[in-house]
Amino acid sequence: MNIKPSKIVCVGRNYVEHAKELGNEVPKEPLIFLKPPSSLIAHGEAIVYPAITENLHFEGELGIVIGKRAKHVKAADAFDYIYGYTCVNDVTARDLQRKDGQWTRGKGCDTFCPTGPRVVPRDELDLGKVRVRTLLNGVVKQDAPITDLIFSVDVIIEYVTQFMTLEPGDLIATGTPSGVGPMQPGDTVQVEIEGIGILQNPVIRG
Ligand code: MG
């Protein structure tokens, strides 16, 4: 896989049980933030645990790869703008996310966006049937159907393209289910979506 997004657009608190587990309200409209392209790593590359955090979390998510320029797209047309789907780990320094009040450090460090292992063309994946699962050292930590998303893929694309032009190759991370938790150096984390595959990354000390 070789995607070079101009931006990585993420949705926060997009599963009811995940919003609750961190003590947050369920959002009334999509909660959008960005990760920088410099945070991207591929399947197999190491997530570097930076010295500036003491609470590094995994967040397994469905990723959308945009196929053509999208601006002011209606939900009914949104799937025309999707090239395909991949797995994303929205790695988060939970302590920095809380402390900073905005999420640039907590979400944006180098290696905080493992993506892969491949991009599956849109028509080859039935979002109504697949689940996102996250395993830490082989133990299932997150497991939820994509249909549990509060704001679905088409609604996210409509919302984002009202204020931001999406370019081919741009990546959208759609939000994580409940079950987020800490990783330690030496751990291995896997994000699995049936039909896409398993995104696996080791965690190493920075
Ligand atoms: Mg997330």
Integer Cα distance of 136 and 17 in angstroms: 19
What mean pLDDT is predicted for residues 42-57?
98
60 C-alpha to ligand 1 centroid (Å): 7
**Tokens 């959308």 sit on residue:** 64
**Quick one: pLDDT at residue 88?**
98
The verdict on residue 1 lying in a domain is no
The tally of domains found in the chain comes to 1
pTM above 0.75, yes or no: yes
Q: Considering only CA atoms, which of 203, 205, 167, 199 is closest in space to residue 62?
A: 199
Integer Cα distance of 66 and 33 in angstroms: 17
The verdict on residue 174 lying in a domain is yes
The verdict on residue 2 lying in a domain is no
Q: Model confidence over 61-82: pLDDT tens digits? A: 999 999 999 999 999 999 999 9
Those residues whose beta carbon sits under 5 angstroms from the ion ligand 1 are 59, 90, 176
**Quick one: pLDDT at residue 198?**
98
Q: Model confidence over 146-164: pLDDT tens digits? A: 999 999 999 999 999 999 9
72 C-alpha to ligand 1 centroid (Å): 24
Q: Model confidence over 108-129: pLDDT tens digits? A: 999 999 999 999 999 999 999 9
Query: Looking at residue 31, which CATH number applies to its domain?
Result: 3.90.850.10
Domain around 46: 8-205
63 C-alpha to ligand 1 centroid (Å): 11
CA dist list (Å): 190 to 59, 61, 125, 193: 10, 11, 19, 10
**Quick one: pLDDT at residue 1?**
44
Task: Give how far the C-alpha of residue 132 lies from the chain's centroid of Cα atoms, to the nearest Å.
Answer: 11
Neighbours of 54 (CB within 10 A): 11
pLDDT averaged over the chain? Answer: 96
